[in-house]
Structure 1
């Protein structure tokens, strides 16, 4: 169900928001300054010429391989529509996966299949959502003949491990990048994809299918800042900090009886030792992400937050447990 998401809700912005995977060290100062300097009076270049060149240079690929998108979710919807338009009928995604893959497939009438070899469109995500681990099917799926998309939303926030796909395999798949999480700027929507070497015709189709100006001035500013050396240096330093917080957060959870699953990213899925009083926690400014909609019932996904937030969670869970105990 794609409508379920982390972040602010009807009660506003949670003080201690474990429900999103945004970089808790953010916002990135350089990217934030660039967004604040953006010129909202004028349209961006409709072809995003300079931005696409900058992104291509950053990834060392030909500029023709860069397709800009309003967001990762917008690209998911658009490439699904493109596959249907060219005769695609089936789709594959992992058992545990971001809900928008299924939402787009349902909207366009694609049938989900269990075998990657039977699919016209295939989805991968590394680090995976919701677990934050490597995808065991990655190399198998990357070798299929359909349109394969690797969602790399959390690659910049990888705290350990490495991508399962090597350079040759990456050139055979679509790579979807949405840096706003890594930059701590999830309110700025903007993404891009790198087409595979044999995907230039589909890249042109996707560009023709896009609405006018899918990226506004603020998104352009964010993505231009994303590729700068000082931004990448800040990101690397933030990952060091996040790794320290993650170690402490896992230890706190495990000491309190939570069962934590392995993760290589800035979030962890865990099963609470008892039923959580979610409204009571939310009233105390704490929000968690129920992973049922991501295919993992009975668990919560918790973004890595600073020690003060960890302590607030620990205290609130204890207090609400006491209040609901017989």
Structure 2
């Protein structure tokens, strides 16, 4: 006898998304280098806009985020009618998969990709397919070889999370060219603002030229607006229509929209964030490379974090514990098949100094 509502069978495969830790096992607050947040904080202009527009919370926000879409379009040379905003890019990725995939279908992504991706497939009863990688990075050949007649969506985070690798425009174009026209390619550019000036994977151009490409971005990273949950996506009109049918109504708050507008105006803050990240990432990677005789290495990264591998006597678990004792939370990745790796967000200069010193100490290397 059935005594309570029965969920769809695929729901049991879903586990809650695990955010980066910010506290130690003993309850101590830790400096959070586990969530890829912006160490420079938020643009003062965006903070001021938040304060001003939170004074009156009685009215619903613009459900279509018209001003925000217009500003995004102006910055990136896009048609605002082909942009949709969401509560972070996560909502938009969810809608994209939901609109095309279901039971019996497949969603393909690289073996080491954003941990949300398999959950997106499970949420709609589709099968997540982990494509073979090349030295942890996404492989175009591996992705294409994983596509079958059941594939509905291919997800590419570029730069990649948690590896930090990046596929250039030629490779992304080759991936798209090799896909059937009825398969959607989603290029998730959450970390695009951290790329060096002039570096582009060509995703936005592909999304404007083709019917089966969607590009998503977020203001959570380089713009420092993670708390406000603001993302956007662009693609062919029929793709934007699908997402608009599925996204939540009034999904981006009124104050969030105003903060995003102010943040988009402050491109100097974004440039400063990129410059800080580039300098500290290079310095941190060099310091890790100097520990190579202990089996520790840094995977080259184009994002705002570095994946550090521990393949010698010092284990990732030992480094995780040592850094926690020193007051730092970093991301251990056994659930993503990387038990010997830590993803470490690039933080403030003084925090990176401390992390380097703690790893040197753990290795018995004080040079």
TM range (shorter): 0.7 to 0.9
C-alpha separation in 1, matches of 2:98 and 2:28: 34
Output the TM-score relative to the length of structure 2.
Answer: 0.77
C-alpha separation in 2, matches of 1:297 and 1:126: 23
Q: Which of residues 10, 18, 22 is equivalent to 1:4?
A: 18
Name the structure with the higher strand share.
2
Residue 296 of structure 1 pairs with residue 338 of structure 2: yes
User: Structure 1 stretches of 5 or more lacking a match?
Assistant: none
Equivalent in the alignment of 1:194: 234
1:93 counterpart SS class:
strand
1:8 counterpart SS class:
coil
Equivalent in the alignment of 2:37: 22
Equivalent in the alignment of 2:99: 82
1:184 counterpart SS class:
coil
User: Structure 2 stretches of 5 or more lacking a match?
Assistant: 1-14, 132-145
Equivalent in the alignment of 1:132: 164
Output the TM-score relative to the length of structure 1.
Answer: 0.86
Equivalent in the alignment of 2:154: 122
- Point out the more displaced range, 42-51 or 145-154: 42-51
2:269 counterpart SS class:
helix
Change (3 A) 1:48 1:181: same
- CA deviation after TM superposition for structure 1 residue 45, in Å: 1.5
Residue 150 of structure 1 pairs with residue 150 of structure 2: no
Equivalent in the alignment of 1:246: 281
C-alpha separation in 1, matches of 2:18 and 2:214: 26
Equivalent in the alignment of 2:250: 213
Change (3 A) 1:174 1:244: same
Q: Which of residues 81, 92, 107 is equivalent to 2:123?
A: 107
C-alpha separation in 2, matches of 1:29 and 1:294: 36
Q: Which has the higher contact order (CA 8 A, sep 6+)?
A: 1
Conserved 8 A contact 2:332-2:341: yes
C-alpha separation in 2, matches of 1:61 and 1:88: 35
C-alpha separation in 1, matches of 2:204 and 2:123: 33
2:62 counterpart SS class:
coil
- Point out the more displaced range, 144-153 or 283-292: 283-292
1:120 counterpart SS class:
strand
Change (3 A) 1:35 1:149: same
What is the root-mean-square deviation in Å for CA atoms of aligned residues?
2.6
Q: For 1:24-63, what aligned pairs fall within 5 Å after superposition? A: 24-39=39-54, 40-63=57-80
Higher Cα Rg, which structure = 2
